[in-house]
Structure 1
């Protein structure tokens, strides 16, 4: 304890050293710099001696700042790895006990202490088998919603209903089986009263019962049915498994301690739900956030009416909130926490391990009585703090276990903790290695820390070694799975080195396009042909080829031209919609609908083609002769014998001027002009074409310069012909216009 205080004081003193502008000010004094340099030399000498003790090559005193930092980092990794190796050797995780690595200076020369160390190694020095291999229900590490293991629901208000649901964010989950019971739970009045606390007997004078088979379990359940208060705790293992599993359960009453082997009775313990969900029995936990989740995950157990002493510590404003502090405060017991890193998979358990496990629950009921007394002393008429602790504990019981699901931002928490600044290639390597590690851990049921520790993953992503030896150099010691999958890691790093800003930008664009199309959260449950979650307007009649032929009226089709590329399998999708709860924004277009589209397209195309042919034929048969000047009696001649009636002329309208045969004066004001969008064939055919062609040779076209382009064109052509006739001295001839 004194060494720990010395370290704390040293850290505080180092934090109080000047920095920034103050450092520049203090370094201007020679005495200050002399003292700092002397202490620096002394510290470097101590670090150098420590590195030599750990057999780390390198001279820290002659290296630059970056080299010194690397040597210190390497030394810390080596020391921590050796400590972890020694702990595993003591727990029996390795076969060869003689390979226990302990620095020579740390070994005591006292032969009695050596004998004690050797004795500990012999007790725990053996191989620990993987309990997962013996589980009747195999471990499922797939990233899917966790389905509760509950088969029977005792003490229920509503029946058991294990249906998959979807929240507002589109995440699928199973509802808490006892959600209704927890929401309607009220603390019994007898549990809110303070009773006289009776200090428990010592561990040696208390009965211990070990439960390892089904017969012993049934006897224990019959004994616990009479209890009104229970203290419960769990011991779990999570290093050599992906999700973790519960290894031991401790239950204590006022007179008896029970140790239940949850590895052997993993699928038999749901009978405890009769007691755990009984609202008239108080279940006392300390720090139940993890215990509640472990009970659901491994044993299918749920808790109602719980008192969490950790929540009571928060309300009482204790400086420390651990169970060790509560044992020393209320029971004057110094807890041995050396078994916190104990491998609880070990069977049979040592006596020391059993004693440690019993301490967690043996004194917990007495602590519960004492804390209720303190809470009641703080309570007022408005606030009953005992009831508040029960309410907060009930909120903890509402927690649901969920399997870890990897997403695109899962690696960012580790990256932020490392306080590194990575470029594009390093970030790609970090994300890819993180995904690879998670995949291997799920497949082999190992923890991600066992596959590749975080600090090694960060170092590989930062250095991006080009060769296999560089990857192994980043790992000290080398994890077994890294050596086995060395080619995969090298391929990931090689791919990361090939990354550029353009490639990443393209990948992001493709990802955004993919996300904008649609998000099928429930793709395993709903078919694209299922209209149950479509719009209500679409849930009417859904015709098929076998229905009435008159369902679709082809005469109602639009006359507009329909292009073939408009025929699609799906209707238009709203691309801007980031969230889509179901298939409400996409409607599947049946093949029959596509067939109807092709009919509309074909009909419109044939109709347009037919109209074009009729128009061309009418233009070829119609001959129009115009005379444009407005001061002369212009005539328009139609070849009436060849004209056929036209149903309709679209868009283009021909303006025709029909002038009477006899006009008294060629004045514009006296002319009668009739403009027709469509010529009256009957009226024109009644008039006989007995008039003679007009002689344009003496017509003055200059005053008609503001007329149409056709008039000017005719005038220009006539003038040219006139000039040619003058030059050749030929007689003038009448000019005909077409």
Structure 2
């Protein structure tokens, strides 16, 4: 375990000489808003190590410098949460990166395959998962727990080598590169409190209800971040829905709501919620949020969507790609309704070459589907 800044600096200097390194993190976030980083695991082709970010004698600055080193490829599996932690603590996004979960989908290993399944299918090794639910804040950690943590980066070296080779042989490396550009974008992690209401299930439809929900959700988001506690500890979703429907304009009205604990309406948080309700209701009607009504699908769009589903399945089986990488059901519905004008990724870049162009030809009646020799195939008309 690396526990001092000098050890970490020397380690990162050695790792910077490699063309790629594998990385994983262990964290806890059940009781906090921001994930609490508990371990960092790293490996080069020659060595592997564990860093203890909870050590009082360790500054993560050398690690962040390594993450910013563009000469070193950083390899993760299911990278998003690891990148979110690094972005929050170091104000940077590692570059360049390679996500083996995304690469595995491009190589035909199915949608969102887990790390242990991917390791087993590519290397034959089996990972002991008994330490998966460890409290990684506890010290000291056992040898078994440390071995489990280290396995997350040692097997990843072999997985990366295999996937990279397959991508290069199949000419699909640029497919993964497009997905990595999304993961490396700060907008992926820089979520604004004013957009927090969009993550809630939309039980409401009226503009004034949506306006209240937007203001209360934004207040909760800011409060949870500032106090570093889960959103539900500040205010539960059910309370937000009830407040949005009932619009309590004073503490007494707030206290009468079923989902509000007795006396909470007199707290500082209760007063802040009442202020947010009144602010939301004071907006001019034209400034209140509205839900976009789904456009009426043209006649035949439902049947066209079913044809596109068959074409997508045929395409993914032919090229050995997970369907999720190309399009989801909503994308297919939009293509069926809007054709060339559909704003979906399936009609851009390599996805258009693989599927989108054929989908448009199918909708225009230029291509037919037929079942022959136990498989579906497209036929030019």
Tell whether the structures are fold-level matches, with TM greater than 0.5.
yes
Kindly indicate whether the alpha-carbon contact (under 8 Å) linking 1:292 and 1:399 is maintained by their aligned counterparts in 2. no
| Candidates 102, 114, 118, aligned match of 1:326 | 118
Is the 2:16–2:69 Cα contact (8 Å) retained in structure 1? no
Partner of 1:447: 230
Deviation, structure 1 residue 498: 9.6
8 Å contact 2:21–2:74 — kept in the other structure?
yes
- Report the counterpart of residue 372 of structure 1 in structure 2: 164
1:406 to 2:193 alignment: yes
Q: Does 1:288 align with 2:79?
A: yes
CA contact (8 A) 1:235 1:248 kept: yes
Alpha carbons of structure 1 residues 427 and 350: separation in structure 2 relative to 1, 3 Å: farther
Per-residue deviation, 1:389: 3.3
Structure 1 432/296 Cα, relative in aligned 2: closer, same or farther at 3 Å? closer
Aligned ranges for residues 548-587 of structure 1 at < 5 Å? none
Aligned mate of 2:99, from 308, 324, 328: 308
Q: Is the 8 A contact 1:229 1:282 kept in 2?
A: yes
Q: 1:236 aligns with which of 27, 30, 51?
A: 27
Task: Choose between structure 1 and 2: higher helix proportion.
Answer: 2
Shift in Å, 1:351: 4.4
Residue in 2 aligned with 1:474? 259
Distance 2:74 2:164 in 1: 14
Deviation at 1:364, TM superposition (A): 0.2
Using a 3 Å threshold, how does the CA distance of structure 1 residues 279 and 331 change in structure 2: closer, same or farther? same
Q: Distance in 2 between matches of 1:309 and 1:483?
A: 50
Match of 2:90 in 1: 299
SS in 2 for 1:363: helix
**Structure 1 residue 365 displacement after superposition:** 0.5
Structure 2 unaligned blocks of 5 or more: 289-381
What aligned pairs does 1:65-104 form with structure 2 within 5 A after superposition?
none
Match of 1:358 in 2: 150
CA displacement at 1:441 relative to structure 2: 1.9
RMSD: 4.2
Shift in alpha-carbon separation, 1:459–1:323, aligned structure 2, 3 A:
farther
1:296–1:302 contact (8 Å) kept in structure 2: yes
Seen in structure 2, the aligned counterparts of structure 1 residues 425 and 277 have a Cα distance that, compared at 3 Å, is closer
**1:241-272 deviation line (CA, Å, top 9, x unaligned):** 44444332110234533111223379833324
Determine the C-alpha separation between the residues in 2 that align with 1:443 and 1:339. 32
What CA distance in whole angstroms lies between the structure 2 residues aligned with 1:463 and 1:307?
48
The structural deviation recorded for 1:508 is: 1.0
* C-alpha contact 2:193 2:222 (8 A) present in aligned 1: no
2:284 corresponds, among 508, 520, 524, to: 508
Instruction: Name the CA distance, whole Å, in 2 between partners of 1:392 and 1:447.
Output: 29
Q: Does 1:437 align with 2:223?
A: no
1:343 positional shift: 4.5
Q: How far off its partner does 1:453 sit?
A: 3.0
Closer, same or farther in 2 for the Cα pair 1:360/1:431, shift >3 Å?
same
TM-score, length basis structure 1? 0.33
Q: 1:323 to 1:426 in 2, by over 3 A?
A: same
1:261 aligns with 2:52: yes
**Secondary structure of 1:346's aligned partner:** coil
Q: Deviations over 1:450-485 (max 9, x none)?
A: 3223245435655789788865x637xxxxxx6784
- Paired residues of 1:293 and 1:400 also in contact (CA < 8 A): no
Query: Using a 3 Å threshold, how does the CA distance of structure 1 residues 213 and 252 change in structure 2: closer, same or farther?
Result: same
SS at match of 1:211: coil
Please report how far the alpha carbon of residue 370 of structure 1 lies from its aligned counterpart in structure 2 after TM superposition.
Answer: 1.8
In structure 2, do the counterparts of structure 1 residues 375 and 469 end up closer, same or farther at CA, with 3 Å as the change threshold? Answer: same
In structure 2, the CA distance between the partners of 1:247 and 1:423, relative to structure 1 (3 Å rule), is same
Matches within 5 A, 1:502-541: 504=281, 507-508=283-284
TM-superposed CA distance for 1:235, in Å, is 2.5
Q: Is the 8 A contact 2:27 2:39 kept in 1?
A: yes
Question: Could you say if the C-alpha distance between residues 237 and 295 of structure 1 is closer, same or farther in structure 2, counting changes exceeding 3 Å?
Answer: same
Superposed displacement of residue 296, structure 1: 3.0
Deviation, structure 1 residue 415: 3.9
How many correspondences in the alignment?
A: 283
What is the deviation of 1:400?
Answer: 5.6
Q: Is the 8 A contact 2:5 2:58 kept in 1?
A: no
Distance 1:279 1:437 in 2: 37
Alignment match, 1:246: 37
The CA deviation string for residues 360-386 of structure 1, in whole angstroms up to 9 with x for no partner, is 112001111222333344x2xxxx324
Q: Which of 241, 253, 266 is matched with 1:487 structurally? A: 266
**SS state of the match for residue 507, structure 1?**
coil
Does the C-alpha gap of structure 1 residues 339 and 441 become closer, same or farther in structure 2, counting only changes over 3 Å?
farther
Distance 1:260 1:462 in 2: 49
Contact 2:3 2:57 (8 Å CA) reproduced: no
Return the alpha-carbon distance in structure 2 between the equivalents of residues 266 and 295 of structure 1: 19
Which of 366, 389, 401 aligns to 2:176? It is 389
CA-CA distance at 1:446 after TM superposition: 1.9
In structure 2, the CA distance between the partners of 1:444 and 1:363, relative to structure 1 (3 Å rule), is same
Q: Distance in 1 between matches of 2:159 and 2:148?
A: 17
**Aligned-residue offset at 1:327:** 1.6
* Greater percentage in strand: 2
Q: In 2, distance between residues paired with 1:353 and 1:436?
A: 39
